[in-house]
């Protein structure tokens, strides 16, 4: 399998705080990778660096073999990196359909219908996005991510605030998505992580603590210490 | 007069300008720092302070000194009252939304300007200085009152610094500036703090006007220049930074004095406005300011 | 574009066309002025209403067109059509430069940056008073306002020609605005207004779109300024002052920001309101000030904006 994404010594500091420190990370095409870690581990900062929302202090990022470190966010999106926001960021005053049409770069048309159907929101196409329930807004975010037809889809805590049944359907959706795109998933919900992920990367205090298959990570003492603070 | 005396005169005039500028900009800086809004009617508060100073000095018997003292107390009080009404009836209703505040205060600016025109008329009103004392330099005479203005401004600025840094009220203002929600969580009545800050800001600029009006005449259009200059000072010095405002006022006041003396006031203004624009483009929080949270 | 949208906008233009046969000379003159300035407001609305960027400095682009045309015919020997084109071209250049610099700031900083640049431009007009004649202004005498186009002789002192030319310009501006709004770019501008960071994260070059909106609005402003100078034979510094930056904002807010006909309605209403008020007060700016405050407090969507929200969701 070829390398889709690679970071070399990627770092980002905010003043004195080293949010992400010298991270060497790589992701293969077709993987579903989960990034986990305690609060403040730097997970969102890390994916913000990859998507281009913030600039690194040092280090480099390679996507499909190309150095994208200096590229602004919108160009990375065009290259195939899609990011769904941790705090839902949709167009509240536009309809669900209009939201997805914008993501598909065919605004003002019905181009978004298929993606809405894929996430199960087809019957809410004409509804104002701001009036959707929280769970549905999350799904709309995913639909928009899909409409970008990305090579890499980054999902930042997508199941947060969803009910159990919504989480069930979400797992099915991600499996479906993973057939066409590589998925990078930040999650706190361990059952979701264990079910979906091919491999898991554990971040702690800005550094990679461990990386491996789900069962190896679950068994790792170091990871348990980082999460629970005890032996 | 040869070059160096010219320069000295320019620097002295510049210092006077800087002192008044620092004082009028202080009000704008406080309001933006704590409330995060821009009050475009700020210049009109200045103009009203000057107009009221003229009117009060005319009404009060007992000579220019008595008139000046009465104006120094009453004009800021009256302008403060107007500011309070503005805050209650207008700003609070639009929930301090930055864009709406700008539009609304532009409207207020036009209203105050035109009302002043109707009530006071279009002519310039001179006000006599409370005392006249000529300081004799070897090359020129300089008004002692102008130096008094500098001293008064410095005193007020130090007073403002002291209140902000050393009193409980100053602490409350700084907390509210830092994070409105945290302040509320600490039980600080943020809306009342906003009202107080807005009123104090207006009162300060009115005081600056009372001080300057014996030097410059009162006129219903005089608010525009202080507005722009205050903007310039506050932005270059840093939105919300008092120290920055003072330093910027000094730089701008002195530069303005020198350029005006050796070139023209118009050119000085052009350079100043362009400088503001470019500073803001490069550093949106100003030179010393803290980026908005 | 649906039939009723075309009918509505064509209908408005037609009504304005017919009005000249029914109204007095004074009303015709007033409406000529309204139509010329409505073009300014229409351009401003593209930036403010649709893209969500509040510029406080558009008078500098209006003035570029104004003085470009006025100086073009009086000092540089240009004919009327050439002067119009040169003035609009200058407007595009100036707004591109100013836009490229100003758009690096956002929010309140952007407003103040545009205000500052405009103020510098105004002061520059005064500084070069030898050429611009300051607030006394340039009066363009009739000989400069005669021109021939496609073999036809025309004189801008002729009120009928003026009215219909202004109407043609307005129709053009409305058509262009409609086309832009309904285009893909227009939708992206609205997306930028609604959620700029999201729009960037969907792969759109938001900086380029914002500059496009800025230059378009600057071009409209210069077009309006050039027409104003040539039709009303006057270019003075008050037309370059802060007031003339505030006017299109007010007209747009009153008529309804983010609607195509809103700025036209707002311009007309404000003119008529000021005209009516000057019956009993010389303080027309007072009316402007009060109107702004009331609009912001109670009517932020303006007339057509509120109408659209309640009854006419299809109104562009």
B→C interface, C-beta within 8 Å:
38, 90, 93-94, 98-100, 102-104, 106-115, 117-118, 224, 228, 231-232, 235, 264, 266-267, 269-270, 273-274, 276-278, 280-282, 284
Q: Give the per-residue pLDDT at B79.
A: 95
Task: Check C198 against A90: CB less than 8 A apart.
Answer: yes
User: B with C: how many residue pairs have Cβ under 8 Å apart?
Assistant: 115
Q: Is there a domain that residue B287 lies in?
A: no
**Secondary structure element (H or E) that encloses residue B155, with its range:** helix B144-166
Q: Where are the beta strands (DSSP E) in A81-198?
A: 81-84, 152-156, 182-186
Asked if B286 and B237 touch (Cβ cutoff 8 Å), the reply is: yes
Q: Is there a domain that residue B290 lies in?
A: no
Asked if A128 has any chain C CB less than 8 Å from its own CB, the reply is no
Q: Is there a domain that residue B291 lies in?
A: no
Residue A228 — very low, low, confident or very high, per pLDDT cuts 50/70/90?
low
CA distance C267 to C256: 11
Q: Is there a domain that residue B122 lies in?
A: yes
Task: Check C127 against B100: CB less than 8 A apart.
Answer: no
Of the candidates B240, B237, B226, the residue with the CA atom closest to the CA atom of residue B291? B240
Asked if A11 and A66 touch (Cβ cutoff 8 Å), the reply is: no
Of the candidates B106, A93, A198, the residue with the CA atom closest to the CA atom of residue C291? B106
pLDDT at residue B118 greater than cutoff 70: yes
Q: Is there a domain that residue B292 lies in?
A: no
Neighboring chain C residues of B108 at a CB cutoff of 8 Å: 289, 293
CA distance C273 to C279: 10
Contacts of A101 (CB under 8 A, 6+ apart): A107, A108, A109, A110, A111, A112, A147
DSSP state of B218: B
CA distance B245 to C284: 35
- Tell me if residue A231 falls in helix, strand or coil: coil
How many angstroms away from the CA of C68 is the closest CA of chain B?
20
C93-98: which pairs have CB atoms within 8 A and are 24 or more residues apart?
C94/C60, C94/C61, C94/C64, C94/C218, C94/C222, C95/C61, C95/C214, C95/C215, C95/C217, C95/C218, C95/C219, C95/C221, C95/C222, C96/C211, C96/C215, C96/C218, C98/C57, C98/C60, C98/C214, C98/C218
Q: What is the DSSP string of A22-57?
A: EEEEEEETT-EEEEE-STTSSHHHHHHHHHTSS--S
Q: At what angle do helices B42-59 and B190-212 cross, to 10 degrees?
A: 60
Residue B146 — very low, low, confident or very high, per pLDDT cuts 50/70/90?
confident
Of C111, C288, C296, the CB nearest to B110: C288
Neighboring chain A residues of C195 at a CB cutoff of 8 Å: 89-92
Give me the residues of A, 33-52, that contact C with CB < 8 A: 51
Task: Check C202 against A85: CB less than 8 A apart.
Answer: no
CA distance A160 to A122: 22
Residue B83 — very low, low, confident or very high, per pLDDT cuts 50/70/90?
very high
**Secondary structure element (H or E) that encloses residue A187, with its range:** none
Mean pLDDT for all residues in chain C: 90
Chain A contact partners (≥3 CB pairs within 8 A): C
CATH number reported for the structural domain that contains residue B88 in this entry: 1.10.3470
Q: Give the per-residue pLDDT at A231.
A: 38
Q: Give the per-residue pLDDT at B84.
A: 95
Structure tokens at A43: 């997970």
Mean pLDDT of C4-32: 92
Of the candidates A146, A133, A137, the residue with the CA atom closest to the CA atom of residue A173? A146
Q: Is there a domain that residue B293 lies in?
A: no
Q: Give the per-residue pLDDT at B178.
A: 76
Task: Check B110 against C285: CB less than 8 A apart.
Answer: yes
Asked if B54 and B127 touch (Cβ cutoff 8 Å), the reply is: yes
Q: What percent of chain A has pLDDT over 90?
A: 56
pTM: 0.87
pLDDT at residue A225 greater than cutoff 90: no
What domain count does chain B have?
1
Task: Check A91 against C201: CB less than 8 A apart.
Answer: no
Asked if C290 and B111 touch (Cβ cutoff 8 Å), the reply is: yes
Mean pLDDT of B96-114: 88
Residue C43 — very low, low, confident or very high, per pLDDT cuts 50/70/90?
very high
Q: Is there a domain that residue B138 lies in?
A: yes
pLDDT at residue B14 greater than cutoff 80: yes
CA distance A141 to A133: 12
Asked if C203 has any chain A CB less than 8 Å from its own CB, the reply is yes
CA distance B245 to B239: 8
How many angstroms away from the CA of C72 is the closest CA of chain A?
42
Mean pLDDT of C45-73: 95
CA distance A182 to A32: 6
| pLDDT tens, residue by residue, A145-192 | 999 999 999 999 888 888 888 888 889 889 988 988 999 999 888 889
Per the structure, the complete domain to which residue B81 belongs is given by 3-282
CA distance C26 to C5: 31
Neighboring chain B residues of C60 at a CB cutoff of 8 Å: none
Radius of gyration for the alpha carbons in chain B, expressed in angstroms and rounded: 19
Mean pLDDT of B263-290: 75
Task: Check C108 against B102: CB less than 8 A apart.
Answer: yes
| pLDDT tens, residue by residue, B218-238 | 888 888 888 888 887 877 777
CA distance A153 to A145: 7
Mean pLDDT of C198-223: 96
Q: Is there a domain that residue B156 lies in?
A: yes
Annotated domain spans of chain C: 3-241
| pLDDT tens, residue by residue, C113-163 | 898 899 999 999 988 888 888 888 888 888 788 887 777 788 888 889 999
| pLDDT tens, residue by residue, A77-127 | 999 999 988 788 899 999 999 999 999 999 988 888 999 998 889 999 999
CA distance A211 to A204: 12
Residue B8 — very low, low, confident or very high, per pLDDT cuts 50/70/90?
confident
Mean pLDDT for all residues in chain A: 89
């Amino acid at each position: 399998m070829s390398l889709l994404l690679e970071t070399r010594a990627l770092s980002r500091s905010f003043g004195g705080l080293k949010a992400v420190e010298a991270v060497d990370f790589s992701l293969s095409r077709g993987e579903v990778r989960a990034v986990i870690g305690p609060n403040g581990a730097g997970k969102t900062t890390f994916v913000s660096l990859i998507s281009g929302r913030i600039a690194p202090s040092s280090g480099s990022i390679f996507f499909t073999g190309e150095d994208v470190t200096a590229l602004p966010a919108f160009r990375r999106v065009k290259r195939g990196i899609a990011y769904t926001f941790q705090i839902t960021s949709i167009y509240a005053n536009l309809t669900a359909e209009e939201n997805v049409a914008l993501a598909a770069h065919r605004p003002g048309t019905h181009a978004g219908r298929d993606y809405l159907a894929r996430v199960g929101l087809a019957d809410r196409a004409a509804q104002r996005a701001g009036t959707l329930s929280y769970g549905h807004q999350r799904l709309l975010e995913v639909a928009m991510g899909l409409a970008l037809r990305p090579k890499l889809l980054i999902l930042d805590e997508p199941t947060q605030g969803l009910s159990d049944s919504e989480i069930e359907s979400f797992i099915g959706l991600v499996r479906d998505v993973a057939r066409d795109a590589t998925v990078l998933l930040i999650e706190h919900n361990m059952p979701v992580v264990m079910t979906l992920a091919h491999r898991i990367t554990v971040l702690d205090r800005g550094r990679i603590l461990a990386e491996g298959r789900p069962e190896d990570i679950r068994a790792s003492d170091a990871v348990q210490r980082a999460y629970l603070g005890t032996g | 007069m040869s070059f160096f005396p010219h320069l000295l005169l320019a620097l002295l005039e510049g210092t006077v300008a800087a002192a008044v500028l620092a004082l009028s900009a202080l009000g704008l800086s406080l309001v933006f720092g704590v409330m995060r809004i821009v009050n475009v009617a700020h210049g009109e508060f200045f103009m009203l302070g000057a107009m009221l100073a003229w009117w009060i000095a005319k009404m009060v018997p007992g000579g220019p000194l008595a008139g000046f003292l009465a104006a120094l107390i009453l004009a800021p009080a009256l302008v403060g009252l107007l500011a309070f009404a503005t805050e209650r009836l207008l700003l609070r209703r639009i929930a301090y939304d930055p864009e709406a505040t700008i539009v609304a205060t532009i409207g207020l600016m036009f209203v105050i300007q035109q009302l002043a025109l109707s009530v006071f008329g279009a002519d310039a009103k001179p006000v006599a200085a409370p005392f006249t004392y000529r300081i004799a330099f070897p090359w020129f005479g300089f008004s002692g009152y102008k130096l008094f203005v500098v001293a008064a401004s410095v005193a007020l600025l130090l007073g403002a610094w002291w209140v902000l840094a050393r009193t409980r009220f100053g602490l409350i203002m700084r907390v509210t500036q830092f994070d409105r929600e945290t302040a509320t969580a600490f039980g600080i009545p943020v809306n009342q703090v906003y009202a107080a800050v807005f009123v104090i800001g207006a009162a300060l600029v009115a005081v600056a006007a009372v001080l300057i009006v014996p030097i410059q005449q009162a006129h219903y259009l005089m608010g525009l220049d202080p507005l722009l200059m205050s903007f310039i000072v506050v932005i270059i010095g840093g939105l919300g930074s008092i120290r920055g405002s003072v330093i910027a006022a000094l730089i701008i006041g002195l530069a303005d004095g020198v350029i005006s003396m050796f070139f023209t006031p118009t050119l000085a203004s052009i350079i100043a406005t362009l400088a503001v624009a470019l500073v803001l483009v490069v550093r949106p929080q100003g030179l010393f300011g803290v980026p908005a949270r | 574009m649906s039939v009723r949208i075309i009918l509505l906008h064509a209908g408005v233009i037609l009504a304005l066309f017919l009005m000249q046969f029914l109204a007095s000379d004074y009303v015709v003159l007033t409406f000529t002025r309204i139509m010329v300035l409505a073009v300014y407001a229409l351009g401003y609305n593209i930036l403010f209403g649709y893209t969500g960027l509040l510029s406080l400095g558009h008078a500098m682009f209006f003035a570029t067109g104004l003085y470009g045309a006025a100086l073009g015919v009086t000092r540089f020997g240009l004919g009327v059509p050439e002067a119009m084109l040169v003035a609009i071209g200058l407007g595009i250049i100036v707004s591109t430069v100013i836009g490229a610099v100003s758009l690096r700031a956002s929010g309140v900083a952007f407003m103040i940056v545009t205000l500052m640049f405009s103020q510098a431009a105004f002061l520059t007009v005064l500084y070069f008073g030898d050429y611009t004649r300051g607030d006394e202004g340039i009066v363009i005498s009739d000989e400069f306002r005669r021109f021939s186009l496609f073999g036809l002789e025309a004189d801008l002192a002729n009120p009928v020609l003026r009215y219909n030319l202004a109407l043609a310009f307005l129709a053009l501006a409305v058509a262009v605005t409609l086309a832009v709004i309904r285009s893909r770019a227009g939708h992206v501008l609205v997306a930028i207004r609604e959620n700029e960071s999201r729009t960037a994260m969907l792969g759109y070059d938001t900086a380029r779109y914002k500059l496009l909106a800025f230059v378009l609005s600057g071009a409209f402003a210069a077009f309006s300024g050039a027409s104003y100078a040539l039709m009303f034979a006057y270019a003075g510094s008050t037309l370059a002052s802060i007031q003339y930056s505030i006017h299109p904002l007010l007209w747009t807010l009153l008529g309804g920001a983010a609607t195509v006909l809103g700025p036209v309605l707002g311009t007309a209403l404000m003119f008529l309101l000021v005209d009516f008020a000057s019956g009993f007060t010389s303080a027309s700016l007072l009316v402007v000030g009060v109107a702004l405050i009331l609009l912001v407090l109670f009517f932020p969507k303006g007339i057509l904006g509120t109408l659209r929200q309640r009854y006419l969701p299809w109104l562009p």
